[in-house]
């Protein structure tokens, strides 16, 4: 048991170093004009790496956790598809090339991105002394909307996506909140272990990353 805990501790420490290091390296690469084109090409691979890091550190890695990932991935990709093709969820927007391989005009990595956000926010709230599920869900959804407020201007400038008319509609944020509430409810209801300090570090790193790029 002691050996197992030691391995788990080393794995967690390595994951934290990877999350922090890659966010700092990515930040520096995007802030320095000559290296920006290269680092923009690496954006989808960065998101994929963060997904793999969370997989690597989540214990136990079982059917309940993989079911959660697949469900969030599919729902996240689906709402993006509906949003782009109908304009009835977030507003009228289209994706640029920065986020990589697309399926039906939607970057495939967006499914993983929704997982990263929901998992990171959901796990982070588990560390607070909030017993009421509904309160954790509401706070988590507010946190994700605040993060989106930081993401939007950066995403537009770096060609992640673009809004028709160059105006971010209020429905984008209201829809983010509603979808976050639903997916965080799924997070709360599915019975898998929800303790991972790496997820907390990832959420904090995301806030710092996008705040620094403003």
Q: What is the pLDDT of residues 128-163, one digit of tens each?
A: 888 899 999 999 999 999 999 999 999 999 999 999
pLDDT at 2: 53
Specify the higher pLDDT residue, 10 or 156: 156
Are 94 and 165 in contact, with CB atoms under 8 Å apart?
Answer: no
Residue 52's closest CA among 203, 181, 198, 209? 198
Q: What is the pLDDT of residue 194?
A: 84
CA dihedral 46, 91, 133, 188 (to 10 degrees): -50
Polymer length in residues for the chain: 214
pTM of the model: 0.93
């Amino acid at each position: 048991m002691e050996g197992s805990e030691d391995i788990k501790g080393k794995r967690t420490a390595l994951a934290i170093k990877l999350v922090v290091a890659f966010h700092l390296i990515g930040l520096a690469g995007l802030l320095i004009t000559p290296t920006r084109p290269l680092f923009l090409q690496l954006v989808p691979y960065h998101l994929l790496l963060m997904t793999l890091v969370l997989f690597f550190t989540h214990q136990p890695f079982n059917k309940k956790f993989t079911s959660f990932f697949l469900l969030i991935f599919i729902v996240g990709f689906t709402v993006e598809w509906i949003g782009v093709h109908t304009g009835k969820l977030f507003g009228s927007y289209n994706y640029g090339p920065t986020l990589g391989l697309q399926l039906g005009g939607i970057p495939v990595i967006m499914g993983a991105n929704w997982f990263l956000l929901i998992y990171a926010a959901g796990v982070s709230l588990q560390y607070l002394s909030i017993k009421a599920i509904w309160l954790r869900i509401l706070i988590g959804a507010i946190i994700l909307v605040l993060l989106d407020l930081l993401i939007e201007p950066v995403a537009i400038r770096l060609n992640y996506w673009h809004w028709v008319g160059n105006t971010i509609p209020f429905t984008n944020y209201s829809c983010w909140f509603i979808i976050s509430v639903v997916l965080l409810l799924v997070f709360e209801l599915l019975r898998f272990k929800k303790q991972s300090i790496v997820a907390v570090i990832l959420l904090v790193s995301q806030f710092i990353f996008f705040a620094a790029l403003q």
